[in-house]
Structure 1
C-alpha cells in the first residue's frame, strides 16, 4: 500500500467514525435477529449508513484537493446523518425489542417523541460544537415558532391530543372503542390521528382532537383490561305464555350452555321490554368477552333461546296483523300428520327397549313423543338430575360426560343419531348417571313417563320382557364407566330381580 493511500485511509477511518460504525453494526444485528418483520427497514438504514461512509471518504479527497469549505459542510452534514441513524436504531432497539421482551408495550407516539427529542438534542449539540450561540438562536426563533404554531393550530391540536391520550392512559393499544357509528380495536395512536380496525377489516382514521373534544365509548374494561360488553338479544312470545316461564327458559338456555365468548359472570338476564299487539317483547342480556365475535355470538345465543322455547312447545310470536291466506285442506293436514307419525315410528324401531311392544302400543308411544331440539353446547340432561323421560336422537351428535368424585369430567360415550339415552330414568326414576351435552345441533324426541305408564298398567306383563333390556343397558353403562378409568370402585353386580322390583315400584304395579 502506497504512503498516500495509507494516509488517505487513516484520515478517513478516524476514531469517532469507527466507534459509530461499531454501534450501527451491533444495533443492526440485534434488530435483524430480534425483529424479523423489521429487516427491510434495518437493511435500508444500513444502506444509507454505507453511503455515508463512502461520502466520508469523498470528503477526505475533497480536502486533499483544496476544497476545505465544501469538505467542512459535507462532513458536518454526514455527522448529523450518522447521528440520526444511531438514534433511530437505538430507539427501535429500546422500544420495539428490549421493552417488548420485558412485556412493556409502549405506544408508537412515545417512541416517536423520544427519538425526535434525541434528534433535537443532537442538532443542538452539533450547533454548539460549531460555535453557534444557542441562546440567541432560541430567542430569534420564538417569533417564527409563534407564526408556525398559528398556521398549524389544527395539526398541533391533534398532536397535543395524542400526547394527552397517552399520558392519561384513557386510551391504549388493543382497546375496543365506539366512536359515533363506528366501533373497532385501537391499532395505532399517532401524532395526528388514532386508527381503529373494525370487525369488517376496515381501518378508520380518527383525528386525535376529535377524541379529546368529542365522546367515545370504551368497550374494554379499564380495570380488568379485557372486553366486557353487554349485548341485547330481542325476541317475542305470545301473551298466553307466562312471562316468568319465558324468562326462566331464556336465562337457563344460555347460563347452562357452554357458549364461547359468553361470560359466566355476571350471569345472563332476561327482562320484559314492551307490550305490543299480539305479543310480549323480551330482551336477553349477556356479557360478551370478545368484541370481534359480536354478531356470531348473538346468533348462537338466539339459537339456544329458540331451541329452549321449542322444547316446551312454544313459538316465537307473530304480530296480529299477519293473515294466513293459504287454507290447507283436511286431506293435506292428514298427510302431514301421517308423515310425522311414520317418522316417529321409524325412530322407535331402533330402540331395543320397545321391541316387546305390539303395533298399537308403538303407535301410542309415537303419538306421545315430544319434539325436542337442542343447540350445540346445550345440556340435554345433567348428572344427578331426576328426569322421568328418555331421548331418542334423530339427528346430530351428543356426548355423555361423567363427573367423578375428584371433580374430573370424563367422556363416557358419544351418542349418534338413532341412539337412545335416559331409559333408566324413564323406567326406574333413578337420577341421571351422566351429563349429556349436545356436541352439534341435535334433534330428538322426548318420551315422558305418563305415556309409557298407561301402556304398562294396561299390560303389566310387559315389565317381565322390558327388565332384561334395562339390566343390559345398566351393565353397558357400568362397563363404559369402568373403561373410562374414573378412579372409583367398581360397581357391584346387578341382579335382574332387583331391577324388576324397582320398575314395579316406580310404576306402582
Structure 2
C-alpha cells in the first residue's frame, strides 16, 4: 500500500462545523447573560431544530453527491462544497436565533465597525488563504495526483481545500502549504499540458573516446532500460571540461514519480556499458603514483583465460600454441545484474565464457538453464553467424570472456583442417540438444538412422562454417 493510501486528511468542513457550534453557543450565552430569561421550551426547541437541520442536511448532502454528482461524473471542487456548506449553516443559525429568541445578528454583523475590524484582523490570514484557494480553483494550475514543484519542493498533490494544499513528497512526507504562500511562489506543474516529461542526466567521458561511439552506447542503454512507447532518447555533447567531455542525456518519461528510479537504473547500466566498451569516466586526480606493472598478476590473468579455453571441447582440436593465441583474443566484459547479454533472434558472431557470476538462459520467455563459472554459450553464432536461439541475461554481476569472429577468423584461416573436427563436435551437441528438447531417446532410432542423420547435419554445418569464414 502506498503512503498516500494510508493518509486520511481531515476535512476542512469539520473546522467550519466547530466554528459554527462555538458561535451558536456564544450567541445563546450572551443572550442568557444579558436578558436573564427563564430557561423555557425555546432553548430546547432551538437545540432540537439545530440537530434536526444538521441531520437533514447531511442526508441531503449524501444523496445529492451519490445520486447526482457521482452519476453525472461532475467534478465539484471541495472548496466550493465547503463554502456552500458554510453559507447554508450560517443561514440556518441566523434563522434559529431569530425565530426562537428574536435575536437578529444580521444588523450587528453588517453595521458594527468594531466587530468587523476584530473579525477582519483575527481572520486576516485565513481569509487570505481562502481567497487564494478560490483563485487556485479558478485558474486550476494543478489537480489532484499532479506532480508539482513549489518553492524547490517536489510533491504529489493529494488534497486542495479552502485553506491549504497538501503534497506527498518523494520521502513520503505529508507537506501542508497555505494557499496564500502558493500563489506568491512560482508553481511548476510537470503534468500539464501532458504527463510526459523530459528527464535530463549528465555524464562526463574522457577525450580519447569518439563522441559518436559514446552517443551510440548511451542511446543503446536508454532504449533497453525504458521500453515505454516514447520518443527516442537524445544524447547531446554540451561542454568540453578540463578533464572530460560532458554529455546530456534526455529521456522521455510518463511518470514523474519514477524519475529518480529510472535515473538510477540508467546511470548504473551506463557504468557496465562503459566498462565493456573501454570508455573511461575521468575523475579529478590530486596525487600521481607510478606503479610497476605487476607481471605476475597479468600472467595469472592470462593463464586463467587459457585454462578456460583448453577445457572447451571446440578448442581442444587446436594445438597448445593456438589455444594460447585464442586465449589472448578474449576480451573481458562486465555485465550488471538484470542486464541483457543478447536477445533471442539477435544477430551475432560472438562466443562467451563465464569467468565470474551466473547468467539465465530463456527461450520464449521461459528459463531453460542457469549457467555458472566455466560454462559457455554462443558457439553457433561464432562459427556460423547463426541467429541467437535464446536470450541470455545476467542473474548477478558477471564477468564474461568474449571471443568474436573478427579475432577468431585468423585462427581458422591458419588452421583450416580444424573445421572438420569442429563440425563434428557442434553437430553432435546439436543433435543431443534436439533430443533433449523433444524428449526423444537415442534408442528410438536405429544406428543406421543415427549415422545418416549425423552425416547429413555434419555436412551442412561444415559448409556453413566454411562459408562464414570464406574458406575455399
TM-score bucket of the superposed structures, by smaller chain: 0.7 to 0.9
Q: What is the Cα deviation at residue 243 of structure 1?
A: 0.7
**Residue of structure 2 aligned with 1:496, choices 438, 446, 458:** 458
Q: What is the Cα deviation at residue 76 of structure 1?
A: 0.5
Q: What is the Cα deviation at residue 343 of structure 1?
A: 3.5
**Residue of structure 2 aligned with 1:164, choices 96, 121, 135:** 135
Matched, 1:231 2:231: no
Instruction: Name the count of aligned residue pairs.
Output: 425
**Deviations, residues 301-353 of structure 1 (Å, cap 9, x unaligned):** 1122222222212221234x54432x3234xx112212322433454466443
Q: Label 1:334 to 1:435 Cα distance change in 2 as closer, same or farther (>3 A).
A: same
**Residue of structure 2 aligned with 1:324, choices 265, 279, 288:** 288
- Which structure 1 segments of 5+ residues have no match? 1-35, 45-66, 403-409, 484-492
How many Å separate the matches in 1 of 2:107 and 2:127?
Answer: 25
Match of 2:182 in 1: 211
**Deviations, residues 460-504 of structure 1 (Å, cap 9, x unaligned):** 232222213322444466568779xxxxxxxxx771111111112
Match of 2:342 in 1: 381
Name the SS of the counterpart of 1:217 in structure 2.
Answer: strand
Matched, 1:416 2:371: yes
Moved more, 90-99 or 304-313: 90-99
How many Å separate the matches in 2 of 1:305 and 1:387?
Answer: 22
Q: What is the Cα deviation at residue 250 of structure 1?
A: 0.5
Matched, 1:251 2:219: yes
The two structures have a TM-score, normalised by structure 2, of 0.77
Matched, 1:371 2:327: no
How many Å separate the matches in 1 of 2:42 and 2:311?
Answer: 98
Q: What is the Cα deviation at residue 437 of structure 1?
A: 4.2
Q: Label 1:92 to 1:142 Cα distance change in 2 as closer, same or farther (>3 A).
A: farther
Name the SS of the counterpart of 1:72 in structure 2.
Answer: helix
Name the SS of the counterpart of 2:141 in structure 1.
Answer: coil
How many Å separate the matches in 2 of 1:188 and 1:250?
Answer: 39
Match of 1:398 in 2: 360
Q: What is the Cα deviation at residue 86 of structure 1?
A: 4.5
The two structures have a TM-score, normalised by structure 1, of 0.72
Q: Label 1:472 to 1:318 Cα distance change in 2 as closer, same or farther (>3 A).
A: farther
**Residue of structure 2 aligned with 1:505, choices 463, 467, 472:** 467
**Deviations, residues 249-281 of structure 1 (Å, cap 9, x unaligned):** 1111111x144xx74412221111211123211
Match of 1:433 in 2: 389
Q: Label 1:353 to 1:191 Cα distance change in 2 as closer, same or farther (>3 A).
A: same
Q: What is the Cα deviation at residue 449 of structure 1?
A: 1.3
Paired residues of 1:395 and 1:443 also in contact (CA < 8 A): yes
**Deviations, residues 385-431 of structure 1 (Å, cap 9, x unaligned):** 432212223323234344xxxxxxx4363442243332111101223
- Which structure 2 segments of 5+ residues have no match? 1-5, 15-36, 440-452
**Residue of structure 1 aligned with 2:150, choices 179, 188, 198:** 179
1:73-472 to structure 2, matched below 5 A, reads 73-88=43-58, 91=61, 108-127=78-97, 129-130=99-100, 136=107, 139-140=110-111, 144-145=115-116, 148-149=119-120, 151-219=122-190, 221-224=191-194, 226=195, 228-255=196-223, 257-259=224-226, 263-319=228-284, 321-325=285-289, 327-330=290-293, 333-348=294-309, 351-393=312-354, 394-402=356-364, 410-411=365-366, 413-418=368-373, 419-438=375-394, 440-472=396-428
Name the SS of the counterpart of 1:183 in structure 2.
Answer: strand
